[in-house]
Amino acid sequence: MTARSEPDSILDDGGFMSILIKDTTREERERIVSESIGNINGSCDGCASGLAEMYQDYIDGRREISEINMSFRAHYESGEEAPARSGCGLFG
């Protein structure tokens, strides 16, 4: 494997930087996650540090971001019931 001199040099067919594990180094994946989450320390409300942990498999090269996101969505529950619909209000 040859080293790349510029991290953004791997572009996909649309001209965007690939974020796939096979196209990135560990350092690039750390930067991608850090820039995407924002406050990586989570000092504002504590949620960002949990997100960083969620993406550790991506940083370590074990699972793609899309796999992690799909897994998260599959297990997400809001805990709130949807409001009952009583009509549009037009016919009182």
The ranges assigned to domains in the chain are 30-62
Q: Does 6 score more than 60 pLDDT?
A: no
Q: Taking Cα atoms as reference points, which of 57, 52, 27, 28 lies closest to residue 38?
A: 52
Band of the pLDDT at 7, cuts 50, 70, 90? very low
Rounded (5°) CA angle 78-73-82: 30
Q: Does 34 score more than 80 pLDDT?
A: yes
For 11, phi then psi, to 5°, come to -110, 145
Q: Does 28 score more than 50 pLDDT?
A: yes
The whole-model pTM stands at: 0.58
Band of the pLDDT at 5, cuts 50, 70, 90? very low
Band of the pLDDT at 18, cuts 50, 70, 90? very high
Give the pLDDT score at 45: 55
